[in-house]
Amino acid sequence: MNAKLRYFAFFVLLVFVACTKKVDKPVVEDLPEESLGYVAQNDSTVYGLACDGCTDSVLVLLPDNCSDPIVYDIIEARNENRVHGHPEIGDRIAVMLDSKNKNKIAFVVDIDQLKGSWVYEVMPTLRESSTRYDKNRTLTDAEKSEIDSIVAAQMVPRMYGFKLKQDYTCQVIGRQWQRSSLETESPVEYPPVKNYIEWHIYNGKLILTEGVVSLGNDKKFQINKIINDTVDIMKMSRDTLVLQFSSGEIKGYHRQADGEKK
């Protein structure tokens, strides 16, 4: 029995024991609004583990609420690109049902397959200052060639993105925390990258929580503002992720293997 199957069997045993005991529901204390990133209120998503019997047309789910496994027909949802990932036994799954038809799947995502590092390539742009020249002075061909060479050498792509971690925290990829004097004086500049610190699935959406970082009086970085980006998952395979942000922007990512150069 492989590790994933052992984990799945152990989880089922824990669920059985939990369901046979009468326990009090945990009480969650109210926290100040400014300390909250994501609050899972009124989440209609069904969560559980994929069971034996999952295929490209059928999803067998063991729900978190300890009820019997549920068999979902996902043929239509998969044909309409509303099933993201290929569930395997023991994977954590999120299922969203159609609000008007509870027998219809609105959204399925394999949460375990969503985890990991997702990146896309960005190119720098010319700084405005680098395009300003003395209008009273004509550049020689040699000077123009030298400037073009310097700019071309600086036009190096970078990988931007994020790592969705097991504990639902998020690590930004591509952020430059310290800027050297050489980078500041460079004729090109890179676009800013959002500092996502948490992620969750909520009502069929991916919630990316951004922490705005500032330097405190103690000279240490601190997060002093929380912003939630609500994102639609347009497509997800093992190596490809396409997201549509609330602004309407659609962005494609590819999976970055652990240890791969950032």
* DSSP states of 139-208: PPHHHHHHHHHHHHHH---EEEEEEE-TTSBEEEES--SS--HHHHT-SEEPPP---EEEEEEETTEEEE
d(CA 170, CA 161): 10
How do the pLDDT tens digits run along the chain, 262 residues long?
555 544 444 444 444 334 444 333 333 333 333 444 555 678 999 999 999 999 999 999 999 988 899 999 999 999 999 999 999 999 999 999 998 888 889 999 999 999 999 999 998 888 766 555 555 567 777 777 776 777 777 788 899 999 999 999 999 998 765 555 555 567 778 888 888 999 999 999 999 999 877 777 777 777 777 889 999 999 999 999 999 999 999 999 999 987 555 5
pTM above 0.75, yes or no: no
In one letter, which amino acid is 4? Answer: K
Burial of 48 (0-12, 13-18, 19+ CB in 10 A): buried
